[in-house]
Amino acid sequence: MKIQLIRHDYQEIAIIKTIHKSTIKEPKSLDEFDINIIDLRSKKLWQSKTFRNSINEIFKVDATPDLQDIYNMVLNSKKSTTIVLIPKNIDVSYNYNSSKFHKLMNLKHCYGAIENILRTLLDVPTNINFENTTTNINDQSYNAAFYFNIQANSKAILSLSESSNKPTTLKMGERLILTTLDIKLGDELHLNTFLEKCKLITDVEEYPEWLHAYHILDDELQQQRVEEQYAVIEQAKNIINIAEDKLKSNLDYKSILFVNEKTLENRVRCILEKILDIDLSTFIDEGKEDFLVEVKDGLEFIGEIKGVTANIRSENIAQLEHHYRSRLDKLSDEGADKNVKALLIMNHSRTKPIGERQPIHDEQINLAIRNQSLIIETTTLLYIYEKFINQDLKPERCVDLFYENKGLLTKSQIDDYCG
């Protein structure tokens, strides 16, 4: 059993030699140990240089940044158990000036001090009251100055004070324990009795490795079964990891049904590159059209990509038409003979579920038809991408699909280009 003690300083208490000692400024990785004890009982930990006129001001200690770092370590710990030792009613120093602290105050009078530290360190809700109690565990006695104000029949309670039945140790989640008991870390029996109460250790003797390796009866058969099932578990984990990665990738594609602005533009361009077999890496976004690419000799696609919370409006189509006309003028000035097709890719009503979105109005569809442009909803674009991934729709047919249609692109039109 490997134990790490994390504390502000060690001069105030005796500590068992087998316990690894770390300061709150330089703790070792929690998962290198089976148990990590965060000892908040040092008086220096509770010092506050902040000037305060009233004891009713929320008390914030100087060590708060270090405690926040430890919070991240506890949050990211995967296997170790963390025990937090809450102090007795110690004297707290505050109002620092001229190289010394000018005031002392009982911890019980420091408004919200314990709760504030526990929120900083562990982000757990607590309600702690002052009351001197004694808790007996087997033949060992533990004093405390505070208790947790929760229902006495709670399953989270690991220890209660004698007679008064005040909760003095709580289990918060699977691997976090809070206690107000004054545990003697220099007394192995005193510490181990508490750990046994928390079911972190047992008094059962650990068997040596050679005993496990000495086979009798059906040991070899059972060991083989264990190894076979572990192999099955590993295979299942690999399948799950691959599936989760694919779900994440699918979610990124599906996000074009919700996102807008640069995120939408980048992900739509990525889909366009695949289904049209084009390269948009050289396209420079100058704040005009959202893409401009030659898809084959003599044919360019120019487009707008928009994400809006409302439905498609005439101004969206008018903006696309402006880019289209500007491109035609430039080609004319250059003497270039090219066809240009305008595409409006819209994620409209983007905050609504797909089934609750209103259809695009006929007015906007008719405007697109008059302008010879094509509206492609992001739901439709995903449908095209699915057909492409399933090899039902080839890039050259996608080019034809976009070039030959106008108004609003529909799934039935897409199906006609498959095969």
Residue 248, SS3? helix
Mean per-residue pLDDT, 219-245 = 94
The tokens 């044919």 sit on which residue? 299
Residue-level length of the chain: 419
Dihedral angle of Cα 207, 212, 216, 222, to the nearest 10 degrees: 120
Query: Model confidence over 164-211: pLDDT tens digits?
Result: 999 999 998 888 999 999 999 999 999 999 999 999 987 656 778 898
Whole-number pLDDT of residue 156: 87
The residue that leads in pLDDT, 283 or 132, is 132
What are 320's two structure tokens? 């696309």
Closest by CA to 4, choosing from 81, 69, 76, is: 81
What is the band of 127 on the pLDDT scale with cuts at 50, 70, 90? confident
Q: Is the C-alpha dihedral spanning 39, 43, 44, 47 positive or negative?
A: positive
In whole angstroms, what is the distance from residue 326 CA to residue 305 CA? Answer: 17
Query: Full-prediction pTM beyond 0.75?
Result: no
Give the distance, in angstroms, between the CA of residue 225 and the centroid of all CA atoms in the same chain.
Answer: 37
Long-range contact pairs involving 279-288 (C-beta distance under 8 Å, separation at least 24): 288/323, 288/326
- Does 59 have pLDDT greater than 80? no
| Whole-number Å distance between alpha carbons of 44 and 8 | 7
Tens digits of residue pLDDT in 38-55: 999 988 888 888 776 665
Distances in Å between the alpha carbon of 70 and those of 59, 234, 282, 290?
19, 32, 46, 46
State phi, psi for 363 to the nearest 5 degrees: -60, -45
Average pLDDT of 79-105? Answer: 85
Residue 106 reports pLDDT greater than 60: yes
What are residue 124's phi and psi, to 5 degrees? Answer: -120, 140
Comparing CA positions, the residue from 323, 231, 307, 322 lying closest to residue 267 is 307
- β-strand pairing of 100-106 with 128-137: unpaired
Whether the Cβ atoms of residue 295 and residue 276 lie closer than 8 Å to each other: yes
CB neighbours of residue 77 within 10 Å? 17
Where would I find the beta strands (DSSP E) of 138-173?
140-148, 157-160, 167-171
Residue 198 near residue 83, CB atoms below 8 Å: yes
Round the average pLDDT of the chain to a whole number and report it: 90
118 versus 228: which is more confidently predicted? Answer: 228
CA distances from 76 to 26, 71, 274 (A): 16, 9, 38
pLDDT in tens, 373-391: 999 999 999 999 999 999 9
Q: What is the pLDDT of residue 152?
A: 58
Comparing C-alpha atoms, which of 271, 249, 247, 240 is closest to residue 347? 271
Task: Please answer whether residues 374 and 345 qualify as being in contact, where contact means their C-beta atoms are separated by less than 8 angstroms.
Answer: no
130 in Cβ contact with 145 (< 8 Å) = yes
Q: Tell me what pLDDT residue 96 has.
A: 77
**Contact assessment for residue 93 and residue 101, using Cβ atoms and an 8 Å cutoff:** yes
pLDDT above 90: residue 295: yes
**Beta 167-171 vs 157-160: how paired, if at all?**
antiparallel
Least Cα distance to 381 among 393, 370, 372 occurs for 393
Q: Which H or E element spans position 344?
A: strand 339-347
* DSSP classification of residue 301: E
CA distance 37 to 351: 47
Integer angstrom CA distances of residue 321 from 289, 316, 318, 324, 379: 10, 9, 5, 5, 23
Contact between residue 62 and residue 47 where contact means Cβ atoms under 8 Å apart:
yes
Quick one: which of 294, 316, 293 has its CA closest to 305? 316
> Which pLDDT value is given to residue 120?
75
**Could you tell me the CA-to-CA distances from 345 to 39, 271, 297, 303 in Å, in that order?**
59, 12, 23, 7
Place of tokens 């990590």: 36
Rounded distance between C-alpha atoms, residue 81 and residue 34, angstroms: 6
Q: For a pLDDT cut of 90, what percent of the chain falls above it?
A: 68
Question: How big is the chain by its Cα radius of gyration, in Å?
Answer: 34
